[in-house]
Amino acid sequence: MKATINDVAKHAGVSIKTVSRVMNNEASVREKTREKVMAAVQSLNYSPSLAARNLAGSKAFSIAYIYDNPNAYYVIDMQNGILSACKQQGFELLIHPCDAKSDNIFDEVHTMIKQSRVAGVVLTPPFSEMPDFVDKLLAMDIKMVRIMSGRTPPDQRTPCIMINDSEAARCITDHLIQLGHRDIAFIAGDAHHNSTIERLDGFKQAHLDNGIEVQKHLLIDGDYSFESGVDSAKALLEENTKPTAIFSCNDEIAAGALFAARLMNVAIPEQLSIAGFEDSPFSRQTWPKLTTAHQPTSEIAENAANLLINDIRKISATEYQHQYTPTLVVRDSTDTICD
């Protein structure tokens, strides 16, 4: 059957404790011994039993992915990335979907963590941006990695992956400006998400860079939903001072804007350019296909999970933070205005 630590020990001619030391990357193992053990591990195709490790040790070998995100594509991509890091490092992944807006969200997560002996969690927005939540988690000695919008980590307490949304938003906006647009609307995502703030920042920066004034009345509140895209775009297009382009905080909003435009017989991109953000698969399935910003979600997730696991295992904390900038993808929903 499956090889155990005893088999490896016998095969390598050492005690099981030494094998354990090697498997856990502990110091004070002679290089020659380590090699012997590793050879035995290889030839027996040994991998430690998670159950036994969990039972015997004080450390845990599971991490959890806590999320509350309606975007299935994003979640799946994240999950795949985390999964592949876990696989490599012999960790286990617990999936924990939950409702960030629930009052006792911390208690829920707390229970889950206690029940399952979880060593660390991967946090994406909105959790990664909830100071209270993060503090409480840290207080109970849970490791974590935070993936969040921004350029610099809010603190040094955990590894962080920063998504430079403002730069990406600046690029998109600049693209719009280069096409000749001057009256550009901004449909925001949920107000309390960093990403909304960052994206607005980039939007403004592009205007500044190009010496163009941001039109306050074209700044609309939204909430990352299709419906908010529909409503906001409708409102915008009913005004006398219509925009010639719309920057949508995500692809859902953009899809909603597209829908509204269609409803009101506004031709895209001839009469109105619309840009999204996120590069969801469906941004290639709308008519016209959406100009948007792409980020390598599963790569980010894998990177994040590795940072977390290394932190847990106390191995080389060289890279404690990392920054990604989503890249502009120009498709068919943006163009110069032809009227």
Partner DNA sequence: CAATGAAATGACAGCGCTGTCAAAGATAAT
Partner DNA sequence: ATTATCTTTGACAGCGCTGTCATTTCATTG
Confirm or reject binding of residue 10 to DNA (CB under 7 A): no
**Residue of 35, 43, 56, 209 interacting with DNA (CB under 7 A):** 56
210 contact, one of DNA, a copy of itself, none, CB 5-8 Å limit per kind: none
Q: How far is the CB of 236 from a copy of itself (least distance, A)?
A: 18
Confirm or reject binding of residue 115 to DNA (CB under 7 A): no
Q: How far is the CB of 60 from DNA (least distance, A)?
A: 10
Q: Nearer Cβ to DNA, position 119 or 206?
A: 119
Confirm or reject binding of residue 44 to DNA (CB under 7 A): no
Confirm or reject binding of residue 27 to DNA (CB under 7 A): yes
Q: Which residues bind a copy of itself (CB under 8 A)?
A: 2, 47, 49-52, 54-55, 72-73, 75-76, 79-80, 83, 92-95, 97, 114-117, 226, 252, 255-256, 258-259, 262-263, 281-282, 284-287
Confirm or reject binding of residue 80 to DNA (CB under 7 A): no
3-state secondary structure the chain: CCCCHHHHHHHHCCCHHHHHHHHCCCCCCCHHHHHHHHHHHHHHCCCCCHHHHHHHCCCCCEEEEEECCCCHHHHHHHHHHHHHHHHHHCCEEEEEECCCCCCCHHHHHHHHHHHHCCCEEEECCCHHHCHHHHHHHHHCCCEEEEEEECCCCCCCCCCEEEECHHHHHHHHHHHHHHCCCCCEEEECCCCCCHHHHHHHHHHHHHHHHCCCCCCHHHEECCCCCHHHHHHHHHHHHHCCCCCCEEEECCHHHHHHHHHHHHHCCCCCCCCCEEECCECCHHHHCCCCCCEEEECCHHHHHHHHHHHHHHHHHCCCCCCCEEEECCEEECCCCCCCCCC
Query: CA 81, CA 295: separation in Å to the nearest integer?
Result: 13
Query: CA 78, CA 89: separation in Å to the nearest integer?
Result: 17
Q: How far is the CB of 39 from DNA (least distance, A)?
A: 14
**Residue of 10, 33, 212, 323 interacting with DNA (CB under 7 A):** 33
101 contact, one of a copy of itself, DNA, none, CB 5-8 Å limit per kind: none
Q: How far is the CB of 164 from a copy of itself (least distance, A)?
A: 25
Q: How far is the CB of 142 from a copy of itself (least distance, A)?
A: 15
Q: How far is the CB of 74 from a copy of itself (least distance, A)?
A: 8
Confirm or reject binding of residue 16 to DNA (CB under 7 A): yes
Q: Tokens representing 41? A: 């591990």
Confirm or reject binding of residue 338 to DNA (CB under 7 A): no
117 contact, one of a copy of itself, DNA, none, CB 5-8 Å limit per kind: a copy of itself
**Residue of 25, 42, 43, 49 interacting with DNA (CB under 7 A):** 49
Using CB under 7 A, list all residues that contact DNA: 1-2, 4-6, 13-21, 23-24, 27-30, 32-33, 46, 48-49, 52-53, 55-59
